[in-house]
Structure 1
Amino acid sequence: MTLDIRGSLKNTKISSNRYVVLDEMISNSIDSFLIRQHDDPAKRSLEVKLVAEIRSSGLVGDDPELSISCTDNGCGLGDDQIEAFLTKDTSYKDDLSIAGIGKCKGAGRIQFFHHFERVGIRSTYRSDGKVLMRTLPLVAARKKIDLADFAVSDGKAEGIGTTITLDGLKLAARERLYKTDALGDVFSAASMRRYMLIAFLQRLVSLKSELGDFSISFETQYPKGRVETASLSAADLPPVTEVRAADIEERDPRSGSPLGKTTRFTLSHYKLDASVFDLPRNAISFCAKSSPVQDITRRYLRTITEQNRAMDGFHHIVLIESELLDRRVNEQRDGFDGIPEEIPVGDFFADETVSYAGIFEQIDPIIDEMVSPSGWSRDQVVADVTEKFGVNAGMLAETETRVVYGDTPKSVAERVLRKYQDRIIADTAEIFDLREEIEKAEPHTEDFRQKVHELSWKYTASLKAIDMANLSQLVVRRSAIVEILALACDRQLGVQTVKAGERRQDERIIHSIFFPMKRDSKETSDHDIWLLSEEYQFYDYIASDKPLAQIEWADGEKLFDASIDVELAETLRRRADENGAMRPDIAIFGEEGSAIIIEFKAPGVSMDNHIGDLSEYAHLLAAKSNGRLKKFYGYLIGDTIAPLRMAGWTRFAAGKGYFRSTPLEDPESGRNLGELYAETLFFEDIVQRASQRIGVYREKLQIDFSKK
C-alpha cells in the first residue's frame, strides 16, 4: 500500500477554497466518529479541536508561518482506515452502510499536500482487543507514503481518535489563496467558526442525533503568546426555516427533447438572526454530501453590500442538494464536472440529461421567494418590460420566462424574444422537414393529407410566435411615436426649447415625425405616415418636401410630363410660373391615379389663411400629370383656425376640424381636372385618431407612455 504523493498532486488540482483543508479535516472527523459509533455504540458525543498556530519568521519576524492541527475522538486509523488513506480513488466509504457517512473519492487529503510542506499523523485505535497508536512524523518533501512509514506503539483507550497536523504553508498556496489577507485574520478562531457554521450547517443539523451534544472548538495561537478561542456546539445550530423541492426535467443531451422524467433538487433555507449569529455574509450554494461546494450567492444578491449585510435583521443561508450534485462534484470539491450549461449540448459523447439552465429555471423563483432584498419589485420590472419593450405578462407566461431578483427590463425582454426566436427557428426547421416528406408522399394516400394537416398546424404555430414578437414591437414603437407627436404639438419636446430671438422649428419637427424631410420612399422605408391613415404607407411613392420635377415612379418614369396639351399648358402657364417652386410638405401618389397632399402649419398659424393652398396644389399636380392624377386628398394640419372663415366647409361631428369635397376645374377653360377631398385637421385630432387605431393592441399589451 503506497500513496504516490507526486503523482496525486499532478492528477488532482489545487482547490480554490482557502478553507479546503479544514473542510477535509472536519469531514473526516465526523466520518470517523460515525464509524466508531457504528462499531462501538456508546453514549458519547463528537469532539473536534482545530488549532491554528501563527509563527513569526524572517529576519525581522514579518513573514508569518502557519501550522494547523485537528484532533477528534473518532475511530482512529485502524487497518481498514489506513489502507483507505494510502489508496487513491478509494471506495472504502462507499461500502460502509452507515447513515450520514460522507461518500468520497479519497482525493481530499491530496489538498493537504498541495497546501503544506509537511503532514503528520498521530492516531489511536482498537485492533483485536488492543489499543494501538500509529504515528507518521512530520517530514518535508515526501514523494510517497508507505505503511512502513507509520510507527506503531501501544496506546490508551481514552486517547482513541486522530490528530492530523499540517505544517509549513507552501508558497504556491500562499500566493494563490492568501495573498491579500493576513493569515492571522483568515485563520482566527472567530473566522474559522463562522466559516464552519456555514460549511457544515446542513450536515450537522441532519446528523444532530448521531453526533450527540457535539463540540467543535477553534483555537488560534499568535506570536508572543496571544490565544483566541471559539466553539461551535449542538446548541448553536439553528433550525431549518424552510425546505423546498424542485424537479428538473431531464432532456436528451443531443436533441433537447424531454425524456419524461425528472431529477429532484432540495433547497434548505436557514434564516438566521444577525444579532445572534455573527456571520460574515449571506450564502447560497450548490452542495455535495451536505457540504457547500459552489457558491452562487452573487446570482441572487448582485452587489457586495447585499451579499454581506443582513436583510431585515437576518442572514440567509440556502443550501441546494441533489444526488446529481453528489455524483458530479469534482475532486477539488470546488465545482462540478459534466453538467452542461445548456441542452442540447452539441456533443455526441455528452450523457448528462440536466443542465445548469434547467436547474436555474426551476430554483430561481424559489430562491427569489426565500431571499429578496427590499427595494426590488418584480411587478415593477414586469411593468417596465411591458412599457419599454412591449413584452407583456402573457408573453412571459407563454415562453415560461420568470422574472427574478436582479433582472432588468432589458434582460427579461432579451430572454423572451430569444425564446421566440428559438421557437421560430425550430418550427421553420420542422416545416422544411415536413415539406420534404410531403414531396416523397403519394397524393392519393391518407399519409399525404396527414402531412398536409401537420404542415398547416406548424405554420399556424410558427406564425403565432412570429406575430407575437413582431406585433408587440410594432405597437410599442407606434405608441412611442404617438406620444412624441403629442409632445411636439404641445411644444414640450426638449428640442423645442429655444432662446429668445431664435427661430422656432415646430413645423419642421412635426413634419419630420410623419416623414423625414427632403427624402422620398425610394430613399427610406422608415417613416410614420400611418399617423394620418394606415393605407397611405402602402402607396407607390411618397415625397417629402422635394421638387415636383424630381418625382418619378419606381421604374424611373417621371410622374409629371412637361409636354402636356398645348391649350392647357398655355392656360396654366401663368399659374405654373408663379408656383413653379411650390411643392407640398408631403405628397403621396398611387399608380391608380390618386394623390395625397399634406401641408403642416406651425402651432399658432391659422389654417384658414391657407385653405386655398390645397386647391392650388391639386390643380397644378392634375395639370402637370398629363391626366394621370385625377383624385386628390388634401390635408391641412395645424392647431389654429377661425371658424367664421370656413364657409362651405362641414365640421366633423367629433373633433374641431372641417372637410369638403369639390371638383377641380380649370378656371380658364372650365375643363374638369379631377376631384379634391380636403380636410383641415388639428394636431390633437391626429393624435387621437392614431391612438384609436392601435388602442386595442395598446390595451392588450398594457402600454401607456403618457405622464400621469
Structure 2
Amino acid sequence: MKHLDETFITTQDLMFVGVLNDIKKSKTSLQPVFEAFTNAIEAIKIRTKLDSSFKGEITIKLNSSMNLAESIEFQNLVIEDNGIGFNDEEFKRFNTFKDFTKGYKNLGSGRIQYAHYFNNTEFVSVFKEGNDYFERNFIVSKDSKYLAKNAIVFHRYCKKINQKETGTRITFNTLLDHSNIYNNLNAEQFKEVLIERYVHYFCYNKDSLPKIHIKYYEQSELKGEANITKNDIPKIEKTDFLDLAYSKIPAIGSKIEKTDKSERFTIDSFKIRKELLKSNDLKLVSKGEIIEDSNVSLSSLAENDNIKGFKYLFLISSNYIDERDTNIRGVLNIPDTESFLKNNDIFSNEEIVLEDIQEGVNEKIKTMYPEIEEVKQKHDEQFAKLKEMFLLDEETANDIKISINDTESKILEKFYEAEAKKTANIDASIKASIDKLDSLDTRSENYNELLKQEVDKLVKTIPLQNKTTLTHYVARRKLVLDLFEKILKRKLKTQINNASNYDEALIHNLLFQQQSKDSESSDLWIINEDFIYFKGSSEKQLSKLEINGKRVFKAKFTEEEDKYLLSLGENRKIKRPDVLLFPEEGKCIIIEFKTPDANVADHLTQINLYASLIRNYSEDDFQITTFYGYLIGESIEPNDVMGRVSSFEYSYHLDYLFKPSEKVKGFDGKTDGSIYTEVIKYSTLLERARRRNKIFIDKLNS
C-alpha cells in the first residue's frame, strides 16, 4: 500500500481520542525511548537474517541546551540504527493498532507512548525495495491538528534516493511534561539505564549485540560518550527451571483449583558486586525486556542486603509471560487470585495467578542459594525481637502483610493501623450492644435471656479493647526502660562517639524533659508511679517557678533577704533544682540527678538547700512546709553516705538509703518545715520498674 505525501494517516475503525484515553501514559518516563530502542534492535535482527555478514549499529544522541535560568535542560533525543527501515510493509504495521502479525510479539502501541510524552517524534527512514532505495519521513504527535483529522501520524513524504544504506533515525522533540529524568541524563547514566533495562536480552545475545554508541551534547558540543559492549554485560550465574500449574474456577464453588496443565518458567540469576547493583530484585521479563511493575517481589532478601559483598538479581521469563503482555508494552495481564475470581469473564478459563509465580519462584530461589535463606532467617529473628520489644499481638501479626523490605517503623505503622481498625470494630460492637437496649422490653418473657446475650458480648469485647490500649502503654514503658539501661551502660551512639560526659542530661531528659512542665507525659513513674500525676517543672529557675500560673518565689525581697541570697558571690535566686513536684498544697518533692560516675555522697546537702530556699523565700500564698527529697546517682557507697551524714540509714532489703524526717529551718519568724530524703541508685530504680512492668506483660500474655 502506497501512502501519499503530506497526508495524515487515518483509520475508519477507531477514534484516536479514545485510544489515547484508553492506553494511558506509561508510568516509566523513558518508555517511549525504550520502545524506539527495542524497535531498532528488531530492525537490525530482521536485516541480519537477510544478510548474515551484516553488522548492526545503534547510535543514541542526547542533546541538551542552556535555559534562561542557566540550567541544563533536555532538548531532544535521537536514536539511529542501520536496520531494515520502514518499508511499506513495516509502515503499515506501525499504523495498525494492535497488530499481531509482526515478529517479537509486538502489539503496535509504541507510537501511543511517543505521542503521550513528546510534542512530536520525527522518523526519517531509508529502506530498500527491489534494487532501489527510498527515504520515508513521518511524524507522530497528538497535537490538536492531528486529532482533528483522527490521526496521530503525518506522512510527509516517501521518495527514491541514491543512498545505498538502510536505517532509521528517530528524533524525540519537546517533552510535553517537565521531567528531571530526561534533564539529568548523560552518556554514562543512559548506558546504565539501558543495561539495567535490557540485561536479560543482552545476556542472551551478548555475542551478537549490535554496536551501541551513546553521545551526550551540551549546546551542540560533545561532552561525553559511552559504548555498550559484551564486557559490560553481567554473566548469568545460574539458570533453573520451575513448572507451575494453571488454575481454573470450577463450575460449582468459589475456590480456584489447579489443573493438570502447566507452564515452564526460567529463572536466571545474577550475582553482582554491591557497588554495581543498586538493590536486590526479582523481575518478570517479557520479550527480552524487564517489566518494571510486575507485582512480584523477592521475599527472602531485602533491597539493601548483601552477602559477602554481592547483591542478587533474578529474572523470570516464560512463554506464558510473553503471551500476557498487553497493548501497552511492559504491562502484563496476569491476574492475582482475587481478580481472577471476581473477573473470570475477562481472563481465559485457565490462568497461572501471580501468587503462584511469587511463591514458586521464591521457593526455588531458596534451593538455588541456601545462603539467601540464612539471611531470611535473620530477618525473621529481628522481626521476632521487634514483636517482643513492642508487645505486638500475634494475631495481628498473622493478619497483616509484612514485607522483608519494610523498615521497623513501617512494620510498627502496619501493626498500629491494623489495631486501630480492630479497635474501631470493637467500638462498633459495643455501640451495637448499647443500641439494642432500645429494643429490649422488660415485660417480655425472654427479656433476661436477651439482656444476658448483650452482657456476654460486652464482657468479651471490652477486655479486648482494654488489652489493646494497655499493650501500647506497657510496650512504651518497656522501650523506655531498655533505653534507660543503654544510657547507664553507655551504649548509645552519642555516648560512644562523644567523649564529653553528659550522661546526666540524657538521664534527666529521659525521665523528665528539661525545661518542661508536662509531668503527666514524663517517665517519672520509673521513680514513683504517683509522680506523673503531680504538677511540676523540670530545671526551672527558682525565681521563675510557677504553680497554676502564679509565681512561687517572691518578686521583691527585703534588704536582708537580698543580702543573703546574693552573698558569697552566688545568686541563689537562679538555682535550678532538676525536678520540683507539688503533690498537694504545702508539699514539695525535690529530685536531683547526678552523673553515674559522680560520688553521690559529695552532694548530700544540695536538696536541703533547695528546701530551705523554697520554705523561706516563697510568696505567702505558698506556705510549703513538707518536703520529700530524692538524690539519685549510680556511684553510691552506703558507708560514705552515712559517714558524712549520720542520720542516713541503709535499707539492705530495698537497696537504698533514707534519712528520716528532719527540720527545715524557718528564718525571720517563719515556722520550721520538715524533709524526708532518699539516696538511691539508677540501677535500683530500673530493676524496680522492670519488675512492675513485667507484671503487666505477664498479665497480657496470660
Secondary structure of the 1:591 match is coil
In 1, the alpha carbon distance for the partners of 2:99 and 2:323 equals 16
TM normalised by structure 2 equals: 0.52
Aligned to 1:533: 528
Cα distance, 1:604–1:337 mapped onto 2, change above 3 Å: same
Check the 8 A contact 2:430/2:461 in 1, yes or no: no
In 1, the alpha carbon distance for the partners of 2:198 and 2:692 equals 64
- Does 1:497 find its partner at 2:497? no
Secondary structure of the 1:172 match is strand
Aligned to 2:169: 169
Cα distance, 1:689–1:169 mapped onto 2, change above 3 Å: same
The percent of aligned pairs where both chains have the same amino acid is 16
Check the 8 A contact 2:264/2:318 in 1, yes or no: yes
Displacement of 1:68 after TM fit?
A: 0.9
Secondary structure of the 2:479 match is helix
Aligned to 1:21: 39
In 2, the alpha carbon distance for the partners of 1:484 and 1:55 equals 61
Equivalent positions of 1:686-701 (< 5 A) are 686-690=685-689, 693=692
In 1, the alpha carbon distance for the partners of 2:646 and 2:331 equals 84
Secondary structure of the 2:292 match is strand
Aligned to 2:268: 270
In 1, the alpha carbon distance for the partners of 2:577 and 2:212 equals 91
Aligned to 2:412: 417
Aligned to 1:117: 124
Aligned to 1:484, which of 483, 487, 493?
Answer: 487
Aligned to 2:56: 52
Secondary structure of the 1:588 match is strand
Check the 8 A contact 2:666/2:672 in 1, yes or no: no
Check the 8 A contact 2:627/2:675 in 1, yes or no: yes
- Does 1:597 find its partner at 2:590? yes
Check the 8 A contact 1:66/1:167 in 2, yes or no: yes
Larger radius of gyration: 1
- Number of residue pairs matched? 550
Residues 304-351 of structure 1: CA deviation (Å, up to 9, x unaligned): x999x99989985421669798556343x13458999xx99xxxxxx9
Secondary structure of the 2:83 match is strand
Q: CA RMSD in A?
A: 7.5
Cα distance, 1:5–1:367 mapped onto 2, change above 3 Å: farther
In 2, the alpha carbon distance for the partners of 1:24 and 1:590 equals 83
- Does 1:140 find its partner at 2:136? yes
* AA in 1 matched with 2:200: I
Aligned to 2:440, which of 436, 440, 443?
Answer: 443
Check the 8 A contact 2:651/2:658 in 1, yes or no: yes
In 1, the alpha carbon distance for the partners of 2:511 and 2:154 equals 84
Aligned to 1:255: none
* AA in 2 matched with 1:117: V
Equivalent positions of 1:399-418 (< 5 A) are 400=400, 402=402, 404=404, 407=405, 412-418=407-413
Equivalent positions of 1:90-101 (< 5 A) are 90=99
Aligned to 1:287, which of 285, 288, 304?
Answer: 285
Displacement of 1:588 after TM fit?
A: 2.3
Cα distance, 1:551–1:534 mapped onto 2, change above 3 Å: same
Cα distance, 1:461–1:247 mapped onto 2, change above 3 Å: farther
* AA in 2 matched with 1:484: I
Secondary structure of the 1:606 match is helix
Check the 8 A contact 1:284/1:297 in 2, yes or no: no
Residues 545-567 of structure 1: CA deviation (Å, up to 9, x unaligned): 55399553x4x6788999xxxxx
Secondary structure of the 2:590 match is strand
Aligned to 1:319: 316
Equivalent positions of 1:616-631 (< 5 A) are 620=615
In 1, the alpha carbon distance for the partners of 2:383 and 2:172 equals 49
Aligned to 1:43: none
Displacement of 1:443 after TM fit?
A: 3.3
Aligned to 1:198, which of 197, 200, 216?
Answer: 200
Check the 8 A contact 1:650/1:658 in 2, yes or no: yes
Equivalent positions of 1:550-589 (< 5 A) are 550-552=545-547, 554=548, 585-589=578-582
Unaligned runs of 5+ in 1: 34-45, 57-62, 71-76, 94-100, 123-133, 150-164, 205-214, 223-229, 251-258, 345-350, 499-504, 563-574, 702-708
Cα distance, 1:478–1:145 mapped onto 2, change above 3 Å: closer
Check the 8 A contact 1:561/1:626 in 2, yes or no: no
* AA in 2 matched with 1:241: D
Residues 229-260 of structure 1: CA deviation (Å, up to 9, x unaligned): x99xxxx9998424386999x9xxxxxxxx97
In 1, the alpha carbon distance for the partners of 2:540 and 2:485 equals 22
* AA in 1 matched with 2:652: A
Residues 341-379 of structure 1: CA deviation (Å, up to 9, x unaligned): xx99xxxxxx99x9x999999699669857899999563
Aligned to 2:240: 241
Secondary structure of the 1:141 match is strand
Residues 376-413 of structure 1: CA deviation (Å, up to 9, x unaligned): 95637964996899568977944645453xx4xxx512
Aligned to 2:97: 88
Cα distance, 1:652–1:455 mapped onto 2, change above 3 Å: same
Secondary structure of the 1:171 match is strand
Displacement of 1:421 after TM fit?
A: 3.6
Cα distance, 1:300–1:625 mapped onto 2, change above 3 Å: farther
Cα distance, 1:170–1:87 mapped onto 2, change above 3 Å: closer
Displacement of 1:52 after TM fit?
A: 2.1
TM normalised by structure 1 equals: 0.52
Cα distance, 1:359–1:677 mapped onto 2, change above 3 Å: farther
Residues 520-578 of structure 1: CA deviation (Å, up to 9, x unaligned): 44xx65533233223212224456555399553x4x6788999xxxxxxxxxxxx9999
Cα distance, 1:330–1:136 mapped onto 2, change above 3 Å: farther
Equivalent positions of 1:150-229 (< 5 A) are 167-172=167-172, 198-199=200-201
Residues 260-313 of structure 1: CA deviation (Å, up to 9, x unaligned): 769999964224699xxxx9x998433347864437899879xxx999x99989
Secondary structure of the 1:596 match is strand
Cα distance, 1:171–1:675 mapped onto 2, change above 3 Å: closer
Equivalent positions of 1:445-484 (< 5 A) are 468=471, 471-484=474-487
Check the 8 A contact 1:49/1:218 in 2, yes or no: no
Residues 178-237 of structure 1: CA deviation (Å, up to 9, x unaligned): x9559xx99xxxx999998823999x9xxxxxxxxxx99667799xxxxxxx99xxxx99
